Amino acid sequence: MSDNSDCLSVTCQASPNIALIKYWGKRNEELILPDNDSLSITLDLGELHSDTTVSTSSSMTCDTFYFDGIQQTKLSKRMQKVLDEVRRRAKNDQIKFVEIRSHNTFPASSGLASSASAYASLAIALTKLFNLENPQSTAAYLARIGSGSAVRSVYGGFVRWSSEGECLSSCIYPVEHWPELRLIILIFNSSKKPVSSTDAMQRTRETSTLFQARLSTVNDKIEKLIQAIKIKDFNTFAKIVMMDSSQFHAVCMDTYPPVIYLNEQSKHLIDLVHAFNKTDENETMKVAYTFDAGPNPFCFIREEHADEFLSLLKHFYPSNNDNDNVHKQVSNIDGNFSSINLPIMANALERIVLTKIGSGPKII
Amino acid sequence: MSDNSDCLSVTCQASPNIALIKYWGKRNEELILPDNDSLSITLDLGELHSDTTVSTSSSMKCDTFYFDGIQQTKLSKRMQKVLDEVRRRANNDQIKFVEIRSHNTFPASSGLASSASAYASLAIALTKLFNLENPQSTAAYLARIGSGSAVRSVYGGFVRWSSEGECLSSCIYPVEHWPELRLIILIFNSSKKPVSSTDAMQRTRETSTLFQARLSTVNDKIEKLIQAIKIKDFNTFAKIVMMDSSQFHAVCMDTYPPVIYLNEQSKHLIDLVHAFNKTDENEMMKVAYTFDAGPNPFCFIREEHVDEFLSLLKHFYPSNNDNVHKQVSNIDGNFSSINLPIMANALERIVLTKIGSGPKII
């Protein structure tokens, strides 16, 4: 950072969000306008956040970008696009160059896409640094043109990204609405090189014969899901979330060539959750899963069932690691899992992240 | 078999069929009437066939069923249903009991469902034994109520199973139509307990939001596929077959709870075929895959490309067991442009076969 008296600096922290109803398909590539509404939960800043510091001073002679402290040769196209829009809105006669420093507290291998939290934090930081008007919708717009679903990470709680009108996001229910809800992220050890979702979703749009049918189900699904969230009906919430996840992966499979994100470990967890839910005598759902464009599951659960589920995970995904960091949070509840007829997958699980809904980005 | 002067016996051999456009969903469980038309290729009898011998004699006191020479405690519900229908049509005052002996030359682990070939051979043998009228459509009907897609195995060549009217099968093009076409079946070593497809397809019907959309695409797809087969347009054939396979697995994924038949090895083969097809400078397709309710791929290819594809398979699925790739002619293919991992010892067996001429009474 330049040591200059006119140096301004803003730092923003934002978290990833987990889609309950997925975004998959753009009707406009340039502005990233989605084909359908999507709904998500913004994670608690907790362990998982992107931190972006943007600074400007008159001594800067060009834009620079540092990732994890290392200067990058150039800004990505999307980042450039965001900056261009910022300058267009700033209407200053003088160009202010910026230094962008970004860092994610979670690694790329964690199964969590970092672009949503990274672009949300960048968008908010730039909006503040340049003192742009209508800061909330401006930051949302900038996040969206930077990385689509980043638009959902500019708010906390339950967030909806509209596919019509201005195509911005809004908070449907704040973090305080459903305090018992928890998220458990399972990071399997399967090493997979990431596939560009931009290309894949375009191919789905162009080749999938089932894609339009998916689109026609979304609005009704979202209304029902919002209603379930409103009254905290976990059973309905769980069923809609799991079904949307499957439908998303179905249209990916129906793409030419097929796009397959799930693997054996994903399938095993799916079977495990359905079997575990069945063990409840009242058929009350305890856990729901969803999968994004990767094999790691994001599980939703209420606090009262977390211990039991963690014991289940320890039973079916034992780790030979002596320190047993993987299952360190298990309270050693003896669950009766003998009715679940599934194989045990030893050493499949690398990490379990327990987290909750977050209140949204923070300027620090 | 009883040693009796009035003993009659018929033996029929039938092969499995590989669906090009899949059957998935019944609009009538009792009669096994499908939700959509389907199209398949009946395999050559070759190494893969079910043999069923049905015999009757006045000394028999009940129906018996032997599988692989071992008497079974009772007949399955479906087999009983087939027999009941046979007797209904036979119109005899006297009940003739039967002894059924069945054997598959391919193991259950080969990835090939045996019920189609087994019920086709049973249906044809019973039709002949009881001398039923309209033997072709009768055998098709019996095969269908026994095991759905078995109706397609009563003919050779390219076979269509209609979802309307009598819901029977017919041969669209005979085996001689496309003599260069070959099938390569890959049997991976993944051990998976089989999932009942009857239950799974019912769940798809009940829960999949995409199922109706699939149904609405089938007729058009079949017409285009039949046209491609007619003019032997492999490119179009390949694309339609691969897309129907994916769409079928998509509606399975869209089922609640999800039904997932493919695994890592299946995915790897899918990527491999697409990459291999891309290596052709004229963008001519060389290979097409399709997957049924299991992880093993059925590949379609023309004879001229077989050696190259087998070399590709040897390169990407090397085996410590020399038998797996015994048919490779050691063509050195240039596969360096294909950026996929090598899966050692993943492949248990490769079956090379071709289109067949249909069941045989022997």
Residue B269 belongs to domain with CATH number: 3.30.70.890
Q: Evaluate whether residue A364 is within a structural domain.
A: no
Rounded Cα gap, residues A82 and B300, in angstroms:
48
Contact B294, B248 (CB under 8 A): no
Question: Which of B175, B198, B223 is the last residue before a domain boundary?
Answer: B175
Listed residue (B22, B95, B108, B13) closest to B54, CA to CA? B13
Q: Does the beta-carbon distance from A264 to B263 stay under 8 Å?
A: yes
Lowest mean pLDDT among A90-104, A312-326, B223-237: A312-326
Query: Are B225 and B326 in the same domain?
Result: yes
Q: What number is the ipTM of this complex?
A: 0.93
Residue B362, domain member (yes or no)? no
Amino acid at A285: M
Mark whether B190 and B215 lie in a shared domain.
yes
B135 and B242 share one domain: no
DSSP-derived letter for residue A5 is: T
Share of chain A above pLDDT 70, in %: 93
Q: Are residues A119 and A52 in the same domain?
A: yes
Distance from the Cα of A23 to chain B's closest Cα (Å) equals 17
- Which residues sit opposite A99 in a β-bridge? A55, A64
* Chain A residue whose CA is closest to B295: A264
Residue B361 lies in a domain: no
Spatial distance between the Cα atoms of B264 and B183, rounded to a whole number of angstroms? 22
Which CATH number is A38's domain given?
3.30.230.10
Sheet holding B99-104, edge to edge: B70-71, B64-67, B99-104, B50-56, B8-14, B360-361
- A338 and A247 housed in the same domain: yes
pLDDT tens digit sequence for B127-143: 999 999 999 999 999 99
Whether residues A213 and B209 touch (CB distance < 8 A) is answered with yes
Residue in B217, B254, B270 closest to A246 by CB = B254
Structure confidence at residue A283 (pLDDT): 80
Interface mutation target, options A190, A246, A273, A283, chain B, most CBs of B under 10 Å: A246
Q: What is the pLDDT of residue B194?
A: 59
| Mean pLDDT value across residues A51-75 | 94
Same domain? For A150 and A192 the reply is no
Residue A210 scores a pLDDT above 70: yes
In total, how many domains does chain A have?
Answer: 2
Both B212 and B160 in a single domain? no
- Based on the domain organization, do A160 and A217 belong to the same domain? no
Nearest to B247 among A254, A260, A270 (CB): A254
Report the pLDDT value the prediction gives residue B192, as an integer from 0 to 100: 66
Integer Cα distance of A249 and B254 in angstroms: 8
| Cβ atoms of B181 and B298 closer than 8 Å | no
Domain boundary among B131, B146, B175: B175
Distance from CA of A313 to the nearest CA of B (A): 20
Q: Give pLDDT < 50 ranges for chain B.
A: 1-2
How many CB atoms are located within 10 Å of the residue B71 CB?
11
Residue A352 has pLDDT above 70, yes or no: yes
Amino acid A4: pLDDT: 53
| A250/B246 CB distance under 8 A | no
- Chain B residues closer than 8 Å to A209 by CB: 213-214, 217, 243, 247
Note whether B221 and B269 are same-domain residues: yes
Distance from CA of B255 to the nearest CA of A (A): 8
Q: Give residue A106's pLDDT.
A: 85
- Asked which of B175, B210, B235 is the last residue of a domain, the reply is B175
Q: What is the 3-state secondary structure (H, E, C) of B71-82?
A: ECCCCCHHHHHH
Asked if residue B276 and residue B237 are part of one domain, the reply reads yes
- A138 belongs to a structural domain: yes
Q: Is A199 exposed, middle or buried (0-12, 13-18, 19+ CB in 10 A)?
A: exposed
Please state the rounded mean pLDDT for residues A12-19.
97
Find the domain containing B95 and state its range: 2-175
pLDDT(A329) > 80: no
Q: Which residue of A has its CA nearest to B249?
A: A253
The pLDDT score that the predictor gives to residue B5 is 64
Is residue B330 included in any domain, yes or no?
Answer: yes
Residue B195 shares a structural domain with residue B285: yes
**Domain-located, residue B204:** yes
CA distance B60 to B54: 12
Are B242 and A256 within 8 A, CB to CB?
A: yes
- Do residues A59 and A189 share a domain? no
Q: How far is B142 from chain A (nearest CA, A)?
A: 34
For residue A313, the one-letter residue type is L
